[in-house]
Chains A and B, each alone.
Chain A
Amino acid sequence: MTFDPNDPALRRRRSRPQLARRDVLRGGVWLTVGLGAAPLLAACGDSSSGPAAGGGAPYLLARPDRPVTLAIKDSNPPIGDGLDPEEGGTFNILNYAQYMAPGVMKDFGKKHNVSVEVTPYNNYDEMLAKIRQPGESFDLVFPGPSVLSKMVYADLVQPLNHSYLPHLENLWPEYQDPWYDQGARYTVPYTVYGTGVMYRADRVKSVPKVGYDLFWDKDYAGKVYLLEDRQEAIGMSLLRNNITDDVNTANPDDIKRATDSLIELINLVNVKTDVNAYSEVPEGTATVHQCWSGDLIAGQYYLPKGETPEVLGYWRPADADYVVGSDNIAIPKSAKKPVLAHLMMNDLLDNQIGLRNFGWNGYQPPLTKLSAKYLTDQGYIPDNLSNAVVVRSDFDKGHTFYEVSPSTEALWQSNWARFKAGG
C-alpha cells in the first residue's frame, strides 16, 4: 500500500473517542430509558454476584508480575481445525466507534461475501451490557486486559484455534504470550499505546523536564485539557507526585493526594476534560492536552490549512514512568461466524493490513516490522513525533492499568467525582 497523506479518506480518521461530543447523546438514553431497564436486566445476573460484591473476584486478577493462564472449559471449546469460512449475511463487530479502518472492513467483506457491521460502545460497562443481551450475537469484540478475565469467567468469549492464526508470529514476542492471557488462548493484541502530553510546539516556550508540569503552567490557562478518564488523569497525578510504585494503588491517601493536585488545576488553569486531543491541539483549542500516543498520529490530519506537523509536539516520560496500555481482539461465544472471525483476526496481524489499519486510526499494532524507524521512513509519522511510537522496552518497564477490585475502583471514581464537582 502506498501512503498518501492527502488522501481524503485518511483525513476523516478519528482516534478512539471514548466519549466524543456526539456520543454524549447516547449517555442521555442511559439517563432516561436505561435507568428503568438496566436494573431489570441486572436482576437476571443475580447468581454471579456474590463474591465480587465483597471485593474479591471469583477469578484470578491478572498482573504483569503475576501472569494468568485463562482456563479452557469443556463446555466452551475452540472451533475445530480446517473449517471452511462462513459466507453471506452480516459479520457483526462490537467495538469502540471509529476504531477500525472502514477500508479494511470493506475489503474483508468483499473478499468473504459478507457485510461487515459495527455496533459501537463508549466504555466496557456498555460493551458488557451489549454482549450479554440474550439472543444477541457478535463475531468480534475488543476487550482490554481489565475486562478479559471476567468475560472468560462468564463464558462471553471463546478460546482461539491458533491453526487459523499463522500471523501470530508477526507480533512482538511478549504479545504472543501476554501477562493477561498466557499463551494467547482467548485474545490477540489489537493496538498498543502510551499516555503522554500533546502540545502546540509553537505556543509552548519550553518543555519542562517533567512534561506533566505543563498542565500546572498558568501561561496556558484556559487551554489545558486532561483525558476524560479517571485512571489516566489520577494516574498521571500520582506519577507527578512521585508515587510511582503502583499506578493502580488502593491506598486512599495516595489517591486523595493525587486528586487534590488535580483540583489545583481547576482554579489555576480552568482545566477541562475530554478525549479529543487529536483534533483540539491541531485546531488550537487546546495548547496542552493529556493524550494517548495514537492521538499524535491522527492529529497531523486535523491541522488547519497551511500548518505543518512541526507545530505539534509530544512529551512522554522515560520508559520506567511511561503508562502504557493495549486493546485486544477476542471472539464472542455467541459468534455466528467464528471461522471468519479467526480470519479477520489473522488479517489484522498481517503486516500490510495492520499497517493500513494503523494508517487510518493512528493506533499502533504491536507488529515487529512496524518499528519507529520503519513508520517514519514510510511517512506515517513526521520525524518530530517519532517518540509517539510505542516500543517494546516501554512494555518491559512501564506502568499499566489492570483490573482492580470494585472497592478500589469505587475509591478512584469517588475521587474523580470530587475533582469533577469542582473540588
Chain B
Amino acid sequence: MADKATGHDRATRRLWPALALPGTLWLIALFVVPFYAVMAVAFSGRINIFNEPIPAWNPLTWESTTFTTAVTDSFTPSGVYHEVWVRTAIYSFWALVICVAIGYPVAYYAARLAGRRRGLILALILAPWWINYITRMLAWVNLLQDDGYVNKALGWFGIPPHSWLSGSSFTVVWALAYGYLPYFIIPLFASLDRIDQRLLEASRDLGIGSIRTFLHVTLPLSRLGLITSLVITALPMAGDYYTNTIVSGSPNTNMVGNQIELFLLEGPQKNIGAGLVLVLSLVLMFFMFYYLLLTQRASRAATR
C-alpha cells in the first residue's frame, strides 16, 4: 500500500512539470530567444552591406553606447524622443480612461443585468475581432474623411465639418480606445461575472442602496479584474504605431512605436530601433511587476 502511494506521488510529481514543458518551450522559443536577439542587436553597432544588423551574441562584446543614447534621448527633457514618450503616455492614459468609461458599464451590464441577452451582447463585443484591426482602422478613415459620414451627420445638426484626419491627437486617442476596447471588456466581464451573487444580496439585505453596494462591494471585488483589463489594454496600446499612421500620419501625433518602426523597417540603424524596443519593454515591465505585486497581495489577502 505504502509503496504504491509513493509510486503514485512520484508519477504526479513528474507529470506536472511534464505538462509545463510545452509552455516552457513555447516561452523560450518565442519570447526568450527573440528578446535576447533584440538585445544582441541593440548592443551591437555593426551591420553588413545589406543594412542588416550583425547581432552581438556574446554579452562580453556588447557596446552600450547606442542603448544609453536611446535612454537619455528618451528621458531627458531635451532628448529627441522625449516628446514622443510623453505623447505615448498621454495618449495611452486618455484612451484607457475612455475604455473604463465605456467598457466598465458594458461589462457590468453584460455580467449582471443582461440575463438571456448576455450571449448576444458577448457576441457583439467580440464581433470586431472577426475583422482585421487594420481594416477596422481603414474603415474609420472613410467615416472621418472630410466628406465622410461623420461630417455629413454633423451637418444635419448644423455643425461645420471638421478635418478629423489632419493630424489630430483627439482622433488618435479615440481610435486607440476603439481598437482596444474589446480587450478591455472581456477580462473585466469575467471578473464581474465571478462576483458571488450572495454578497450583493447580503449588502441589500443590510439595507444598503444599489449605488453604495456598487461602490463598496462590486467595485472593490472587481478591482483586480479592472487592473488586469487595464494592463492587457495598455501593453499593446503603448507599442502601437499603425493606428496613428492610418488616422493621422502627422509628426505631431507620433508615438514611440512609430519611432521604432522608422528605425527597424529600413536603414543602417536597426540597433537604435532595437534599443527603443528594450526601453519600451523595460517601461512596460515596470507596470507589469506592479500588477503582479498587486495580484499577489490580493491572493494572499484572500487566503488569510
Contact = CB atoms under 8 A, between A and B. Distances in A.
Interface of A: 21-22, 24-25, 27-28, 30-31, 34-43, 45-46, 48-49, 52-53, 57-58, 122-126, 128-129, 132, 150, 153-154, 222-223, 266, 270-274, 284-285, 406-407, 409-410, 413-414, 416-423
B30 to A, nearest CB: 8
Contacts of A41: 52
B262 A417 contact: yes
Contact of A274 (B51, B87, B249): B249
Contacts of B269: 410, 413-414
26 contacts: A21-B141, A27-B241, A31-B241, A36-B38, A38-B52, A39-B37, A39-B53, A43-B55, A45-B52, A49-B54, A57-B49, A125-B50, A125-B51, A129-B50, A150-B50, A154-B49, A266-B252, A271-B250, A272-B167, A284-B147, A285-B146, A413-B267, A414-B272, A417-B262, A420-B251, A423-B251
Interface in B136-182: 138, 141, 145-147, 163, 165-167
A35 B163 contact: no
A40 B29 CA distance: 13
Interface stretch (B5-13, B204-212, B253-261): B253-261
A414 B268 CA distance: 10
Contacts of B50: 45, 125, 128-129, 132, 150, 154
Interface in B249-297: 249-252, 254, 257-270, 272, 274, 277
A41 to B, nearest CB: 7
Contacts of B270: 38
B57 A422 contact: no
B31 to A, nearest CB: 9
A271 B253 CA distance: 11
A154 B54 CA distance: 17
Contacts, number: 180
A222 B167 contact: yes
Interface string B193-217: 0000000000000000000000000
Contacts of A125: 50-52, 265-267
Contacts of A266: 250-252
A244 to B, nearest CB: 25
Given A22-B138, A35-B34, 6 more contacts: A30-B265, A36-B33, A36-B37, A45-B54, A129-B52, A223-B163
A414 B246 CA distance: 23
Nearest to B167: A270
Contact of A124 (B37, B83, B266): B266
Interface stretch (B39-47, B89-97, B111-119, B121-129): B39-47
Contact of B258 (A34, A45, A420): A420
A420 B55 CA distance: 27
Contacts of A39: 37, 40-41, 52-53, 55
A21 to B, nearest CB: 6
Contact of A272 (B40, B46, B250): B250
Given A271-B251, A410-B268, A418 B80 contact: yes
Given A25-B242, A35-B34, A42 B55 contact: yes
Given A28-B242, A42-B55, A53-B46, A421 B80 contact: yes
Contacts of A43: 54-55, 57
Contacts of A53: 45-48, 54
Considering residues B138, B167, B263, which has the most beta carbons from chain A within 10 angstroms of its beta carbon? B167
A53 B254 CA distance: 30
B183 interface: no
B134 interface: yes
Closest 3 CB pairs of A and B: A36-B34, A222-B166, A42-B52
A385 B290 CA distance: 61
B218 interface: no
Nearest to A124: B266
Nearest to B38: A35
A30 B274 CA distance: 12
A406 B272 CA distance: 14
B263 A421 contact: no
A52 B266 CA distance: 16
Contacts of A417: 80, 259, 262-263, 272
Contacts of A49: 46-49, 54
